[in-house]
Amino acid sequence: MRVPATAVALALGTLVGAAASIADAPPSCAVWSLRAWGSPHPGIGPRTISWRYGFLNIGSQTCTIRGFPSVTMLDDSGRPMPTIVRRTGGPAYGPVQPITLRKRKSAWFIVSYADQAGYEYDFCPASAQLRLTPPGDRHGVVLRGAQARIAPYGGTARDLRCGIVNVGPVHLYNPGSY
């Protein structure tokens, strides 16, 4: 079967155009160019605590970020605590989409977890710090202070599992949005 020359030219032009737009895209955000922040978020549901965490681009260049960040609970000394991250989508967390971060702009994501209700006298330890790792990176930005103190519960009353957090994808932060 012969393919008309115009079809081949059209297909090649489309590939060249796609390659050019990829080459024009800003680079991924480097951890050294990001600062972490956190603030309370309206609850996702009953017996759930929610936080809005984010990355502020403090670098001099525009960069991109896309997907699900990772969260690691840390103790007072900065040692990792057991943390189980569940990537979560849906209306409350929003879709996965590429985010272009200009200088001094933020990308945010939701972290939610079960509170201690229903677990009687069992308790889960609280973090002293959080390591927030951008999607696609292996290194994170450490957040300290009250906004980094979380004590997530999970499992059941008979089989308590500490450290289970639900994490949504990153979004461009617009003040005034929820």
Q: Give the tens place of pLDDT for each residue, 84-119.
A: 999 987 777 778 999 999 999 999 999 999 887 666
Q: Give the tens place of pLDDT for each residue, 47-91.
A: 789 999 999 999 999 999 999 999 999 999 999 999 999 998 777
The first and second tokens of residue 134, run together, are 């951008």
Domains in the chain: ranges and CATH: 26-172 (2.60.40)
**CA 140 to CA 71: how far, in whole Å?**
9
Q: Strands 70-74 and 63-65: what pairing? A: unpaired
CA atoms within 13 Å, Cβ hemisphere of 2 = 3
Query: Which helix (DSSP H) or strand (DSSP E) does residue 142 occupy?
Result: strand 141-144
Phi-psi region of 118 (alpha: psi -120 to 50; beta: other; left: phi over 0): left
Residue 147: what are its φ and ψ, rounded to 5°?
-70, -10
Q: What is the pTM of this model?
A: 0.80
Number of other residues whose CB lies within 10 A of the CB of residue 138: 8
The first and second tokens of residue 147, run together, are 């906004």
Most confident stretch, 13-22, 43-52, 90-99, 135-144:
135-144
pLDDT of residue 1: 53
Report residue 157's pLDDT band, with 50, 70 and 90 as the boundaries. low
Check pLDDT > 60 for residue 11: no
